[in-house]
Structure 1
């Protein structure tokens, strides 16, 4: 028979051989929700690749002017000597590609395509990020108010969302952008064009975010921590922005990353139609518009800005899908 284990006080002491050899006593550390989400995200190699590409694109856009200066590039420098006057095509290889012009030159004025791609990158990202921030701020506030207060407030905000969603956004954006080309609000030129695009794209897209936030708020407002806040005397604004909003960071982040590529395409579409960014400022949509007439004889002129838009949109979409799976694994 085995002798009974001796106890000291109310606690029993385990035999030394009960602890496996080589295993040190270590306090078990818990993980936060953010750490768990980061662990899930790192396992998704496609999403991580998209995130790396997004970071590189942001760095390139932020450093586009220094990069151009370092390489000695000028996006608006006319170099007619690089264009054959007989064929109106770039001299040399495919699209005029050379060591000095690795992506070639445009067949119209001989401008360096790499310089114009770099210059257009910051324009597209500034408009996309600005419009996303504007639509998210309005959408989050309106969605929180509608979902939390309900009743007539919810009805009014919901009908307002339906009204904005009924607008033919593309036609409305074309009309506003074309009307404000000369100058308005003390702005003119590039600052005016960027401000108009941010306003038009962001202001009329807020209902999409508001609907998502409203649905999440309807589910959260009946939770115990909201009842506890009410019981402690918390007012509506405190509950909205200190209790509900932190629990909506995940859905808001995911939708924002999926909204940015949509805004990039929207800005490129307006510039392609001639009511967005105006020349001589380079933009990806404007480059596509200029390349239409040369597509059959110089397809490389259209291929480069098209690939820039495609890679940027794809990277943001992959990042958004990865964040969605990491922050809400039940959505898989």
Structure 2
């Protein structure tokens, strides 16, 4: 009688090749970290929806000028025939919405709101992306240096972060933007305004990214793969660029995505206060500024740019939350 614990039968003697002969190779194929992150991200339907909205907004901003040319949209064209000469408000309901003007027209001037929203999209995203790239670059370089080298390097950079975090950014941005309205550094007009906003927002917001990267670097520099690189004679620059930075890509992407909506709100706030993008150039914050004086004429003029800012910021926040969960190796 054969014991149930007997493992001398044919099943135990079978070779691995014969056991796996009928198994589909694709089913046991390993997945990369990027594939695993993508699978996790696809499971989050809310984050996917936010990502789709972000892609559409980016395409709208990039193709703003071609779209205006194809459909004949002019954000600065006046349509006085659509304005009631007595009430100084758009004819009809909901801001004069019609087939020719799907979002209506603004009071008094009759400029098309859809054209101005499209025109303002590339301004807001250009400032937000430019400021994010600047702050992420400075924050990553200084954060990695502080976390890896430690000692007096960490002390100097950390105190520098504290100084920038304590700096009255809003007051400085208002003062600097207001003082450079005429021209500076060979720049004038819209180019100057966008450059100033990118510099002010990006240069003074890098400590937020720097602190995050410094903390991640402090954790990574004690890991086994860094010790193995040191034992093989790797220099500091090699460890920084070949060992640490590749492992910091995920947090950099996540916090960059979460930093973009903050910069969009900052640019809209400065334009709302009148020290950001100057008219007649359309901007979402500037449209909200104009809607205050025109609110009694037609409240719809305040709703349209407000919704544009709300949807954009919400979409980026949802995308950032989804990326954070997908790229976190400790998540399920």
The alignment's TM-score, normalised by the length of structure 2, stands at 0.93
Corresponding residue number in structure 1 for 2:304: 304
Corresponding residue number in structure 2 for 1:260: 260
* 1:18 Cα offset (Å): 7.5
Q: Map Cα deviations across residues 88-125 of structure 1 (whole Å, 9 max, x no partner).
A: 10112321111111111111311000000000000000
Corresponding residue number in structure 2 for 1:200: 200
Corresponding residue number in structure 2 for 1:165: 165
CA distance in structure 2 between the partners assigned to 1:166 and 1:19 by the alignment: 63
* 1:52 Cα offset (Å): 0.5
* Residues 331 and 29 of structure 1: CA distance in aligned 2, closer, same or farther (over 3 Å): closer
Q: Please give the residue correspondences for 1:52-63 in structure 2 after superposition, counting only pairs within 5 Å.
A: 52-63=52-63
* 1:151 Cα offset (Å): 0.7
CA distance in structure 1 between the partners assigned to 2:31 and 2:133 by the alignment: 30
Does residue 116 (structure 1) correspond to residue 116 (structure 2)? The answer is yes
Corresponding residue number in structure 1 for 2:25: 26
Q: Map Cα deviations across residues 190-237 of structure 1 (whole Å, 9 max, x no partner).
A: 010000000000000000000000001001111121122222222222
The alignment's TM-score, normalised by the length of structure 1, stands at 0.93
Q: Map Cα deviations across residues 116-149 of structure 1 (whole Å, 9 max, x no partner).
A: 0000000000000000000000000000000001
CA distance in structure 2 between the partners assigned to 1:224 and 1:330 by the alignment: 18
* 1:25 Cα offset (Å): 4.8
Q: 3-state SS of the aligned residue for 1:94?
A: coil
Corresponding residue number in structure 1 for 2:154: 154
Q: Which stretch of the first structure deviates more once superposed, 66-75 or 161-170? A: 66-75
* Residues 124 and 315 of structure 1: CA distance in aligned 2, closer, same or farther (over 3 Å): same
* Residues 231 and 72 of structure 1: CA distance in aligned 2, closer, same or farther (over 3 Å): same
Q: 3-state SS of the aligned residue for 2:25?
A: coil
* Contact persistence 1:127–1:264 (CA under 8 A): yes
Corresponding residue number in structure 2 for 1:101: 101
Q: How many residues align?
A: 327
Does residue 80 (structure 1) correspond to residue 102 (structure 2)? The answer is no
Corresponding residue number in structure 2 for 1:314: 314
CA distance in structure 2 between the partners assigned to 1:278 and 1:191 by the alignment: 11
* Residues 89 and 331 of structure 1: CA distance in aligned 2, closer, same or farther (over 3 Å): same
CA distance in structure 2 between the partners assigned to 1:318 and 1:120 by the alignment: 22
Corresponding residue number in structure 1 for 2:270: 270
* Residues 93 and 204 of structure 1: CA distance in aligned 2, closer, same or farther (over 3 Å): same
Q: Map Cα deviations across residues 249-287 of structure 1 (whole Å, 9 max, x no partner).
A: 111111000000000000000000000001111000000
* Contact persistence 1:73–1:115 (CA under 8 A): yes
CA distance in structure 2 between the partners assigned to 1:56 and 1:266 by the alignment: 22
CA distance in structure 1 between the partners assigned to 2:127 and 2:239 by the alignment: 32
* 1:47 Cα offset (Å): 0.4
CA distance in structure 2 between the partners assigned to 1:296 and 1:246 by the alignment: 55
CA distance in structure 1 between the partners assigned to 2:318 and 2:254 by the alignment: 11
* Contact persistence 1:324–1:331 (CA under 8 A): no
Q: CA RMSD in A?
A: 2.2
